[in-house]
Copies of this chain bind each other. A is one copy, B any other.
Amino acid sequence: MQKQPDKAIQLSHGGGGQEMNKLIKSLFFKAFDNPLLCREEDAAALMLSGQCAFTTDAFTVSPLFFAGGNIGKLAIAGTVNDLAMMAAKPEYLAASFIIEEGFALADLRTIVESMAAELAVSGARIVCGDTKVVPRGCADGVFITTTGVGHIQHQGISSHALTAGDAVLISRDIGRHGAAILMGREGLELDSELTSDCATLWPAVKALLDAGLEIHAMRDATRGGLAAVLNEWSQASGVGIDVQEQAIPVADPVRGLCELYGFEPYDLANEGTFVIALPAHQAQQALTALQALPCCPDAAVIGQVSGANPGKVILTSPWGSSRYLELPAGELLPRIC
Contacts and interface: CB of A to CB of B under 8 A. Distances in A.
B330 A42 contact: no
Say how many copies of this protein the assembly contains: 2
Contact of A149 (B54, B58, B97): B54
Contacts of A130: 56-58, 145
Interface of A: 10-12, 14-21, 38, 40-60, 62, 81-83, 85-86, 88, 92, 94-98, 101, 127-135, 137-140, 143, 145, 147-149, 152, 158-160, 219-220, 222-225, 228, 232, 236, 269, 327-335, 337
Given A15-B331, A17-B329, A219-B42, A137 B134 contact: no
A290 to B, nearest CB: 19
Contacts of A222: 16
Contact of A40 (B50, B53, B236): B236
A224 B134 CA distance: 16
B11 A334 contact: yes
A56 B147 contact: yes
Contacts of A232: 40
A42 B332 contact: no
A120 B61 CA distance: 34
B17 A54 contact: no
B220 A42 contact: yes
